[in-house]
Amino acid sequence: MEFGEALRTATRPLNVLIEIIVFFILYVLFNWLVYPRYFSPLRNLPGPPLENTILGHFGAIIKSGGSTLQMGWVKEYGGVVRSVGPLGKERLLMLRPEALHKILVSDWMDYPKPNFLRKILGLVAGYGLLAVTGNEHRQMRKAMNPAFSLPNLMAQTDMYFDAINTLVGVLKAQIARAPEPSKGKVFPMYEWMSKITLDVICATGFGYYPNSLLNPDDELTDAYDDLIGLQSGLNLAKFSGVVALPGMARFLTSETGYKFRNLWKVVPGLASVSTFIDSLYRLRRVSRKMLAEKLADSAVNVDDFSAKKDIMSLLVRARNGETKDGYKLSDEALVDQVLTFLGAGHETTASGLSWSLWLLATHPEVQQRLRDEVAPIFAETDRPEYRVLKDLTMLDCVVMESLRVLPPVPMTVREATKSDWIAGVYVPKGTLFQIPLRVVNTWEETWGPDADQFRPERWLDLPSTYNPTFSMMSFIAGPKACIGRTMGISEMKAVLAAMVANFEFAPSYEGQIAHPTAAITMKPADNMPLLVTLVRK
């Protein structure tokens, strides 16, 4: 072989590697800098000017928190807004009911949550309903729907009052010990709402009683506190990057991942991954223990009346029965549901309650009208029934209006898995949709010029532009709408009614303003300190 030919043969693999790298760099540069500006069919849609070439609008969105930036965009640009994410990835915000109907209802399987979010949700909230899509979702949802039926929820209402009456007692005792009890005491209300909703979801979801209102050392409460303490826009971005690495999501939840969790502490900026792995591991350990107890329970025959009414017990019993399509929730899927219910049903309700208390504290006349409605009921009993609470007009208006103005989940995302026309706009495959729940809820075109104001009476005289599915989207819509909607609303009603019947809430200092912070749920950044005084001994 000649020397030249030998050299060519020896360097061929290197040349191929260089060509691949150059091609990859050109591909990234084209998609980042050229395609969105000069070729994308979305490029001429209205939207804010690009201020940061690398991050697009991502940084500004994270900084603004709770979709306030997007609320401004819609005022300026209308019901279809184009923005740009990191490295030129385009995002669309579409508010019209026909667009939302296609994305969330009629063609929902073509618009799933993007992979990065499903991976994160799968880790944090288990591969349960929140994370799965397509046919798997359809079957899982069908298996779970009966556990969320109205008769089951009605049977659970009494369980709320174990936790509610404990909280009322704790607040009363602390006020009594304050230097001047008649002047009340400041409480970080988000913290207390978080404890009570954890106790309620554990009791109603799994028949588990952490009693976090009185006991801070429970295994599940402790692990879960560590996990939700990590929730921030920055951590969401970091974890999305970590789980994007092939196989990483599985590794993080494996025994080996747990064993080597402390290694993350030496990776600059990623120490929180170690806490993340540790808290998930502990949560799964408690979940498995709970499942083992349910399985043992379900082996014993009990009549329906004396059987446990928590959702997991219902799911285990339903699994033991016949299914027409042969689908059964596996043990691991049942363990995942624990994480799903915790992830989806706890912080959402806690945030909803905290925002309601804030809105009542800053609207004392509304608070008094609500007290006038609920106080006579609590004078009779401290455990009103589901139907009694359901029929209270003012309570209903306050809860719906608070969920409208300050929804616990302000925004979610979907991705187009095919190119198609949506409400007159050609949307190419791969486009990300920001589904702007808070923006839809406060859109002036639907709700009028006072759309972002808290005015509960508006629910008694809804505008002609109101669409029952697509004007108030706090629980989203379509086959992936919140399965816990009725549960969340009735829990909020029970807690709020008892709080307002017993206490008066006011801002804790003059000029106090609320600071919503959002990664997935929108909660108060400062734990929402409120001045609480006693109205009922």
Using CB under 6 A as the criterion, which residues of the chain lie in contact with ligand HEM when the complex forms?
129-130, 141, 205, 340-341, 344-345, 348-349, 352, 407-409, 412, 474-476, 480, 482-484, 487-488
**Own/partner long-range contacts of 48-54 (Cβ < 8 Å, ≥24 apart):** 48/73, 48/76, 48/77, 48/81, 48/83, 50/84, 54/86, 54/87
Closer of 90 and 310 to ligand HEM (Cβ): 310
Q: How far is the CB of 11 from ligand HEM (least distance, A)?
A: 51
In whole angstroms, the minimum distance from the beta carbon of 25 to ligand HEM comes to: 34
Could you give the CA distance from residue 92 to residue 425 in angstroms, rounded to a whole number?
10
Q: Which is nearer to ligand HEM, 392 or 531 (CB)?
A: 392
Nearer to ligand HEM, 141 or 328 (CB): 141
Q: Least separation, in Å, of the C-beta of 54 and ligand HEM? A: 27
Residue number of the CB closest to ligand HEM reads 484
We find the least distance from the C-beta atom of residue 478 to ligand HEM, in angstroms, to be: 9
Q: Which residues of 164-187 are buried (b: 16+ CB within 10 A; e: fewer)?
A: bebbbebbbeebeeeeeeeebbeb
What's the CA gap between 175 and 187, in Å, rounded? 10
For the CB of residue 400, give the shortest distance to ligand HEM in the complex, in Å: 11
By the 8 A CB rule, do 476 and 510 touch? Answer: no
CB of 409 to ligand HEM, least distance (A): 4
CB atoms within 10 A of CB 393: 12
Neighbours of 56 (CB within 10 A): 23
State in angstroms the smallest separation of the CB of 429 from ligand HEM. Answer: 20
The alpha-helical segments, DSSP class H, found in 205-261 are 219-228, 233-244, 248-252, 255-259
**Nearer to ligand HEM (CB atom), residue 318 or residue 375:** 318
**Partners of 531 in the β-ladder:** 186, 506
Nearer to ligand HEM, 147 or 175 (CB): 147
- Helix 331-345 × helix 189-201 angle, to 10°: 150
**Quick one: CA torsion of 291, 292, 295, 299, rounded to 10 degrees?**
-160
Closer residue to ligand HEM in complex, CB, 88/205: 205
**Which CB sits closer to ligand HEM, 50 or 400?**
400
What single-letter DSSP state applies at residue 86? G
Structural contact between residues 204 and 310, judged by C-beta atoms closer than 8 angstroms: yes
- φ, ψ at 80 (rounded to 5°): -130, 120
Is 190 within 8 Å of 523 (Cβ atoms)? Answer: yes
State the minimum distance, in angstroms, from the CB of residue 491 to ligand HEM. 6
Give whichever of 51 and 191 is closer to ligand HEM, judged by the CB atom: 191
